[in-house]
Amino acid sequence: MSGNQWIIFFFIIQLLHGLATWKLYIKAGRKAWEAFVPVYNAVILMKIINRPWWWTILLFLPIVNLILFPVVWVETARSFNKNSTQDTFLAIVLLGFYNFYLSYGAKDLKYRENRSLHPLTELGDWVSSILFAVVAATIVHTYFIQPFVIPTSSLEKTLLVGDFLFVSKVNYGARTPQTTVAVPMIHDAVPGTTVPSYIKKPQLPYFRLPALEEIERNDIVVFNWPVDTLVDINNPYGEVRYKPVDKKTNYVKRCVGLPGDSLSIKEGYVYINGKKNELPDRAKLQFFYTVILKNNVSQEFLDQYGITEYTRVFQLKKSIFENEKIQQYIKANGINLTVVSDDGDMVAFKGNVSQDMYDKLKINFSDKALNINLTEELATKIKSNPNVVSLKKDLSTQPENDIFPRTPEYSWNKDEFGPIYIPQAGKTVDLNLEVLPLYKRIITAYEGNTVDVKGNQILINGEVANTYTFKQDYYWMMGDNRHNSQDARMWGYVPFDHVVGKPVFVWMSWDSNGKGLDKIRWSRLFTTVGGEGKPTSYFIPFLVVLAGIFAFNKFRKRKKKTA
């Protein structure tokens, strides 16, 4: 729904409310006209049902109001002595239209001015407490702090798989929900199912509250995955499925490119405006390396250096590998193989070997070679090991099909990319067929225009266009785990309206590979995400403060008893 449609809808609701309740306002000692004045009528209604005025604010908060409206409908009925289970049921099921019956059909209706608000039954007390807790939690979750769990290793060494985070929404400004009907605090699907936790329409216009700060370079950011609407991620202009922005999958990456930057990647390193991007000291870049050992690869070697991410290297007899038919088969099927070592008898190689190829050629795994994911610091240590013959960083040298913008004109890969311009709100760029692939999704999917190409002409919304002015800021998000991260190199820019918040705190960290109590990474509990140096755990101070509060409350209760 557009802004104008929402305004019309709002006034229709206000009119219906007035028609349904003006007689009830009179019975409560108010004026009939007060039932028709937008917002003011809600303030007066709160007085009538003996509830605080600030409930009016909650009625205008999306998602929260879904919980509060039924409460207000029931409270209105009870304020006029309609306390039965049937009255409660009808007030909720009829979506507030039960007020028409109270005004025009109910007989001997009397207003209870000073009715007790305390629930009459234990069940009612439980329901009241649960509703209050859900409302409070929904407000915090939507506008202040949202929990988030790290699912992948793309920011390994800074954020670990199994870290439980608190994500601040106030730092970059909290977005008001665009999806108006949804299960509170459930993001995408009902847990344990694929059933959506929301109804796609109606949608509110995008709005963001004032921010405490702007996104800075190298900030870790949680955002909605921009291409979550694509049926096939490998086809950015193919079939799409509608998904509200605020219900797209949450991702977390490091922002390395800001609006207005010129960004390029050389040998896996990011360059901004021609200068190499310097990461904070907590950030540790990781790349895949191929290591060849004198002795066989062992678990002891992996444990010695804490290596957890690795893949095996294939090997095949040289006579088979260099066979003309085999080489033709490899080229015909677009199989990218890189030779790691050749001892004259066996060839060790890596690449995208299919199960069919593996079985037919009777390929084996090399006993002395391995692909391992390392920080540069760890790579230096391993290189000095006398058991290591060679250690080489696996940098891409060929064009890759899954790299943005996924068109033949741009022969980039994950290690050699750009340069590209990061769009900035209000800035204008020249538009031609060469740069169109870089900006087409921005113009169409993110900024709501149509793009057509006729010959050498580009038409935006049916009109010839040689330039384009961006409506919002865009960012470039990447993982520190450069060879194991699904990030902007694959799907491009992140619009600012997709930004969710800033991770600020790790309150729990779970290692699924640990045993017993070691499953909990105790040193990471209650640590900050940002900052310099090694993260400091505030878990023990938290326990001390908690114990102090508990002891103080117990002392105060005992003192009251003796007084």
Radius of gyration of the chain, Cα coordinates, nearest whole angstrom: 31
Give mean pLDDT, residues 253-266: 97
Paired sense of beta strands 262-266 and 250-257, if any: unpaired
Mean pLDDT of 213-237: 83
Residue 435 in this model has a pLDDT that exceeds 90: yes
Of 79, 103, 154, 485, the catalytic one is 154
Please check the confidence at residue 233 and state whether its pLDDT lies above 60. Answer: no
Please tell me what DSSP assigns to residue 472.
S
Q: What is the pTM of this model?
A: 0.88
The rounded distance, in Å, linking the Cα atoms of 15 and 22 is: 10
Is 90 exceeded by the pLDDT of residue 555?
no
Which amino acid, residue 295? N
Q: Which of 317, 308, 426 is nearest to 364 (CA)?
A: 317
d(C-alpha 211, C-alpha 310), whole Å: 41
Burial 438-460 (b: 16+ CB within 10 A, else e): bbbbbbebbbebebeeeeeebeb
Provide the residue ranges of all domains of the chain, joining segments of one domain with +: 3-117, 295-385
pLDDT in tens, 6-43: 899 999 999 999 999 999 999 999 999 999 999 999 99
247 in active site: no
Q: Tokens 């038919």 sit at which residue?
A: 325
> What whole-number distance in Å separates Cα of residue 38 and Cα of residue 18?
9
266 is catalytic: no
CB of 94 closer than 8 Å to CB of 34: no
The strand ranges marked E within 72-174 are 145-149, 163-168
What pLDDT sits at residue 132? 87
Measured CA to CA, the distance from residue 547 to residue 200 in angstroms comes to 46
What percent of the chain has pLDDT above 70? 97
User: Does residue 1 have a pLDDT over 80?
Assistant: no
pLDDT (0 to 100) of residue 84: 86
The 3-class SS string of 242-270 reads CCCHHHCCEEEEEEEECCCCEEEEECCEE
Span 80-99, average pLDDT:
90
Both tokens assigned to 292? 């060849």
pLDDT digits (tens, 9 = 90+) for 324-336: 888 888 888 778 8
CATH topology of domain 295-385: Alpha-Beta Plaits (3.30.70)
Q: Which residues are 287's β-sheet partners?
A: 374
Q: Which amino acid is at 304?
A: Q
| Mean pLDDT across 48-64 | 92
CA distance 519 to 512: 6
How much is the average pLDDT of 375-382?
Answer: 93
pLDDT band at 231 (very low <50, low <70, confident <90, very high): low
The catalytic position among 253, 350, 368, 502 is: 253
Tokens at residue 433, please? 């067929």
pLDDT of residue 344: 86
> Looking at residue 560, what is its pLDDT?
78
- Give me the mean pLDDT over the 505-523 stretch: 91
